[in-house]
Structure 1
Amino acid sequence: MQKKPNNRLKLIQILILCVSGIFLNSEAKSQNTKHNHIYLETFDELQQFLSYQGDNFHLISAHRGGPENNMPENCIATFENTINHTPSILEVDPRYTKDSVVILLHDPSLERTTTGKGKISDFTFSELNRLKLKDLNGNVTNYGIPTLNEALQWAKGKAILLLDKKDVSIKKRLEIVEKNNAEAYTIVSAYSFKDAKTCYNLNKNIMMQVFIGSPEKVLEFDNTEIPWSNIIAFVGHQQPEKKEVIDMIHKRGAICIMGTSRNLDLLISKGEVKDIESLKKDYEDLLKLGIDALETDIPVQLSKILTLTTEESTKFKYLH
């Protein structure tokens, strides 16, 4: 006599497979994001994390948050995607709406990055809230335009936000940081020493990115009376002509950040170089030169070819 199939046994087997699949997927996701969150609770910890220790610790700064296919720039979902692959500073672009809400959008107009048309400043936040963001290829996504407040609330315990200027003054950006109690995980970009002094005089517990690309600028910044422990130094979008500037900045306890978005990254994004591995030495040479953080358009791809830190670093304790 032919036995009847044991439906109960089959059901149990299916359930076991499903649970196993969920567990494995969860474990894979956990491993993927392990040590990619930057967990900082105080401004003192931020200062420590962004100070120069000479212990081979490097960072990626994701330009516009690190957009990819289906992941728009200046979008919280994109930020999540970036930190799923690497600990990161996330550079974002604040802009005013018509009714003075500070949102994140790079261009002054809407066409390139959203489903809207016209100038941002001609629309209220309520009107802009109906739009969807586009990815780098112009594909419409399901994501809307975030506010700076939303980004600051999201970033706590996960990443460091770097607030560019665009049309929002340093005083206003600082005010929003303070209202969100976000001094422990925010950097404010200062495009002049005057702006840096304004910001520091308003709040001594604020980290700034200041443009210091030459030995002469290092000496000039010495005279501002702003502690070097309150800044990271942006040395430019090209390798500094004189390595001396990097050594001078390090001697003062600050780290150096350099942009690769206008040079090496373009070779990849424009398709001139097909395999990023072929550029590995070029990026590594910048780190060996003394560049501590790379501002890049391709943070996910870079995270796959560069060793940025090890557990021996004194700063590794801040990565979760």
Structure 2
Amino acid sequence: MVQSKFRRLGMLLFSLSLVMLFVTIPSVQANSEEEDDQDDGVEVVAHRGAAGYAPENTIAAFEKAVDMDSDYIELDVQMSKDGQLVVIHDTTVDRTTDGTGKVGDLTYDALRELDAGSWFAPEFKGEHLPTLGEVLDEFRGKTKFLIELKAPSLYPGIEEKVAKALEARDMDDPEDDSVIVQSFDFNSMKMFNELNDDVPVGVLTWKSEDLTPEALEAFTEYADYVNPSKSKVDRELVNQIHDLDMGIMPWTVRAQEDVQPLMDAGVDGIITDYPDYVPEQSEEDED
């Protein structure tokens, strides 16, 4: 009789333990998922290559960015007088080369002869202005690309040329957002999205009026990223953008103390001249 009572008590305790197990498993899984979300690493986007360490928008800067394990290289694309897609930030060559004049007034042969490295440091003498095709061919498979169309209104047809450059290399349907095209010119991004809606599009802005709930909602019609000046970023903005299923990669970090607040806000990527300012992910985070 006593043994029977103990046996029933044991079965009852066993049943209760099973109930508790099934109750706690979802909770553990949920907590694990929350921790995974919190531990997701931020993408390191090397601004104009590793522009803090090598002359911006040159092969040397992009090589340095890859050597520093950047997730993306960011580059600026304009168009020469003869329609070549050239990688340079300013609409004139004066600041970053030994030449003068507007990019769109010079043929690519003339642009190619310019020294785009000496202004930064003597050891970079002879660096030239690369084409978009050169950069894609050289670094494809080594890193991802954030391609900015710079002042596209100056270069009618640049959206189609960039789309064709990607298509020619079978990069027009990228996986894992390995190619993103962005611009401050929203109409240009609408046009690019119409040409190829498989390549993610980003909109750049420093204006508060572009970050209202209404403006963000409008971006969802064609954009996948909203990439504002870092000065505009806080957790509320990041949450609003994420709630609309878009990503956010602010720019441009040039001081180490600016990194952690952006990471705390939950951004997806940080655009920086100094890729090593962004902490590396641990193996545990990557898992």
Aligning the two structures, in what range does the TM-score lie when normalised by the shorter sequence?
0.7 to 0.9
**Kindly tell me: are residues 61 and 145 of structure 1, through their superposed partners in 2, closer, same or farther at Cα, counting changes over 3 Å?**
same
- Partners of 2:37 and 2:191 in 1: CA distance: 28
Q: Per-residue deviation at 1:253? A: 3.6
Equivalent residues of 1:58, 1:292 under 8 A apart: yes
- Partners of 1:54 and 1:196 in 2: CA distance: 31
- Partners of 2:114 and 2:73 in 1: CA distance: 23
Matched, 1:246 2:238: yes
- Partners of 2:135 and 2:37 in 1: CA distance: 29
Equivalent residues of 1:114, 1:133 under 8 A apart: yes
Q: Per-residue deviation at 1:247? A: 1.0
Structure 1 window deviating more from structure 2 (178-187 vs 52-61): it is 52-61
Aligned AA (2:159): I
Q: Secondary structure at the match of 2:202?
A: strand
After superposition, what is the alpha-carbon deviation per residue over 1:164-199, rounded to whole angstroms, capped at 9, x for unaligned?
A: 122444333222222222232321114355433332
Matched, 1:297 2:273: yes
Q: Secondary structure at the match of 2:82?
A: coil
Q: Per-residue deviation at 1:54? A: 5.2
**Kindly tell me: are residues 61 and 297 of structure 1, through their superposed partners in 2, closer, same or farther at Cα, counting changes over 3 Å?**
same
> Corresponding residue for 2:66?
83
After superposition, what is the alpha-carbon deviation per residue over 1:115-134, rounded to whole angstroms, capped at 9, x for unaligned?
A: 22222223221222222212
Aligned AA (1:76): I
Equivalent residues of 1:213, 1:236 under 8 A apart: no
Give the number of equivalent residue pairs. Answer: 237
Aligned AA (2:46): A
Unpaired runs of 5+ in structure 1?
A: 1-51, 269-275
Q: Per-residue deviation at 1:138? A: 6.0
Unpaired runs of 5+ in structure 2?
A: 1-35, 153-157, 205-209
Aligned AA (1:299): P
- Partners of 1:58 and 1:206 in 2: CA distance: 21
Q: 1:187 aligns with which of 134, 155, 180?
A: 180
Q: Per-residue deviation at 1:135? A: 5.1
Question: Relative contact order: is structure 1 or structure 2 higher (C-alpha 8 Å, sep ≥ 6)?
Answer: 1
Matched, 1:145 2:129: yes
Q: 1:231 aligns with which of 224, 228, 239?
A: 224
Please state which structure has a larger fraction of its residues in helix: 2
After superposition, what is the alpha-carbon deviation per residue over 1:260-283, rounded to whole angstroms, capped at 9, x for unaligned?
A: 34xxx2xx5xxxxxxx5xx2xx42
- Partners of 1:107 and 1:197 in 2: CA distance: 23
Matched, 1:219 2:217: yes
Write out aligned runs for 1:77-156 (5 A).
77-134=60-117, 137=120, 139=122, 141-156=125-140
> Corresponding residue for 2:155?
none
Structure number with larger C-alpha Rg: 2
Q: Secondary structure at the match of 2:141?
A: coil
Equivalent residues of 2:97, 2:119 under 8 A apart: no
- Partners of 2:262 and 2:52 in 1: CA distance: 24
Matched, 1:165 2:149: yes
**Kindly tell me: are residues 193 and 112 of structure 1, through their superposed partners in 2, closer, same or farther at Cα, counting changes over 3 Å?**
closer
Q: 1:287 aligns with which of 246, 254, 263?
A: 263
Q: Per-residue deviation at 1:111? A: 2.3
After superposition, what is the alpha-carbon deviation per residue over 1:280-316, rounded to whole angstroms, capped at 9, x for unaligned?
A: xx4212201112211112223x14xx23x23345xx4
Aligned AA (1:90): I
TM-score for both structures, normalised by structure 2: 0.72
